[in-house]
């Protein structure tokens, strides 16, 4: 067992975890944050995407011990309780959700991409979502939601 200290959604946690436990397992099993999903378990689908130190990462590929001292944001931490994040709202408006299993991973990847570069072009948007798999929507509505958020961010920045 290894002692780790991580900050998840703004809250500090000190945990004792086995060396082989993934960050995904730490989040779901130790912290009961089940919004992050396990799809493939080997980094291919993107369902387990979280933000670690400002970057979108596949939590199934990161060991819990590797997250020691890091800042993690999960889908549960992007909006105030009872509120929707603008990306979540855009997914609803563009009808970009069907079964919803992949949605948290897409939303976290979009959030990290826009936070790191608010002026993303279409090619950069597609690159940010590379490797994220959805079996229901056909991706077009997801890209529309991404564009909607990007446009709203641009408008709000112009007002400032």
Which domain, by its residues, includes 92? 86-155
pLDDT of residue 153: 72
* CATH number where 70 lies: 3.10.20.30
Q: Of 76, 102, 134, which residue constitutes the final position of a domain?
A: 76
Q: Please measure the distance between the N-terminal and C-terminal CA atoms of the chain and give it in whole angstroms.
A: 49
**Considering the domain boundaries, does residue 69 fall inside one?**
yes
Global pTM reads 0.93
Same structural domain, 68 and 94: no
Of 48, 76, 104, the last residue of a domain is 76
Query: How does pLDDT run across 76-130, given as a tens digit for each residue?
Result: 999 999 999 999 999 999 999 888 899 999 999 999 999 999 888 999 999 999 9
Confirm if 104 and 91 have CB atoms less than 8 A apart: no
Of 10, 8, 112, the residue nearest 51 (C-alpha): 112
User: Is 81 among the domain residues?
Assistant: no
At residue 64's C-alpha, the angle toward residues 31 and 79, to 5°, is: 45
């Amino acid at each position: 067992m290894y002692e780790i200290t991580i900050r998840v959604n703004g809250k500090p946690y000190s945990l004792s975890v086995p060396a082989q436990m993934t960050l995904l397992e730490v989040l779901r099993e130790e912290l009961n944050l089940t919004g992050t999903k396990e799809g493939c378990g080997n980094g291919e689908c993107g369902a387990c995407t979280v933000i670690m130190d400002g970057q979108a990462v596949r939590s199934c590929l990161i060991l819990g011990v590797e997250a020691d001292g890091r800042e993690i944001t999960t889908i549960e931490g992007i909006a105030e309780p009872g509120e929707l994040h603008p990306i979540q709202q855009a997914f609803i408006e563009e009808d970009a959700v069907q079964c919803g299993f992949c949605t948290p991973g897409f939303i976290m990847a979009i959030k990290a991409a826009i936070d790191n570069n608010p002026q993303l072009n279409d090619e950069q948007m597609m690159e940010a979502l590379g490797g994220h798999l959805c079996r229901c929507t056909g991706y077009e509505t997801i890209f529309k939601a991404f564009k909607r958020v990007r446009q709203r961010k641009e408008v709000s920045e112009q007002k400032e």
